Amino acid sequence: MLWKADDPSPFSTFPEVVMSARTVPLDRPGPGDTELPTGVDGLRCWVGADRVATVLLDRPERRNAVTGAMWRALPGLLAELGARADVRALLLTGAEGTFSAGADIAELADVYADPAAADAYHALNVAAEEALAAFPRPTLAVIHGACVGGGCQLAVACDLRFAAEDARLGITPAKLGVVYPAVPTLRLAALVGPARAKYLLFSGALVPAARAELFGLLDEVLPPAELDARAREFARLLTHRSPQTIGAAKAALAAAPESAAAALEPWERASRTAPDVHEGLAAFLERREPEF
């Protein structure tokens, strides 16, 4: 059976994928979610039966500012989630209407009292950022309210970013005299371009979501009441797409242009014998959702 141009595409979002998206806010576990211990205050995580994991920045009394302990815990938590077969997508969000105000400024005064402590602190937050960027499944930052400094660093490390219309985003080390590390500086420039990276880094300005979308900093902007459901729906959609295709795309896009072919080669070689292509083609011809 061949697909005709006027037929519904077999690759469209199937109703059961969309209609089952839950309405529980993303900053609390829903029915059937399994919460995992993180070993640190201010950081929560759970895995849903829909194969979507959620990592929550949970310090609403401090606008979800990220502590040193939270930075330190993130790589291990992400490694644990990345090794689970029941995780096919990851959402990163903040509690109670704020994504994150960034690094905990109360800690920075002590950190910058000692140059060695400052070096160690920046190594911690860069390690957390890189662990998020290297996560083997698609990652989506879901942004309500303020997404500032280190919070924006984490959001930029995600594959995609959806935000509420009233969100504001900014990278503010110029307001503190802090030298932003090379890794997040270059990641930001790769996302929005050098000129807009300079605008954000030089000014420390908080830009509204609509402008951040024009910059390329956001992928979708939605009314606040619709954001969580849309993010969950999209994450669930990704769990129905080929992990092989997604993993290969992530590997190629994470590499330098001259290394992209080499990064993609093992994925291409494995795809010749892996079941994904056979299942995808069979599902297309049978007009059903593939089961990857």
Amino acid at position 290, single letter: P
Q: Which residues contact 54 (CB under 8 A, 6 or more apart)?
A: 26, 29, 33, 45, 46, 47, 48, 90, 91, 92, 93
DSSP assignment of 136-164 equals SS-EEEEE-SEEETHHHHHHHHSSEEEEE
The pLDDT tens digits for 69-119 are: 999 999 999 999 999 999 999 999 999 999 999 999 989 989 999 999 999
* Cβ-contact 164, 227 below 8 angstroms: yes
**What's the gap between Cα 70 and its chain centre?**
16
Residues in the chain, overall count: 292
How far is residue 97's CA from residue 81's CA, in Å, rounded to a whole number? 25
| Among the listed residues 105, 107, 36, 21, the one whose alpha carbon sits nearest the alpha carbon of residue 73 | 36
Q: What is the mean pLDDT of residues 218-222?
A: 98
Amino acid at position 286, single letter: E
- 258: which DSSP letter? G
Residue-level pLDDT at 199: 98
| pLDDT at 200 > cutoff 60 | yes
Residue-level pLDDT at 276: 92
Residue-level pLDDT at 24: 80
Q: Which residues contact 253 (CB under 8 A, 6 or more apart)?
A: 260
| pLDDT at 4 > cutoff 60 | no
How far is residue 289's CA from residue 292's CA, in Å, rounded to a whole number? 9
CA dihedral 236, 35, 137, 172 (to 10 degrees): 100
Residue-level pLDDT at 22: 55
The pLDDT tens digits for 131-152 are: 999 999 999 999 999 999 999 9
How many Cα atoms within 13 Å fall on the side-chain side of residue 51? 21
- Name the pTM for this structure: 0.91
| Among the listed residues 178, 86, 90, 103, the one whose alpha carbon sits nearest the alpha carbon of residue 133 | 90
How far is residue 56's CA from residue 27's CA, in Å, rounded to a whole number? 6
* Cβ-contact 289, 3 below 8 angstroms: no
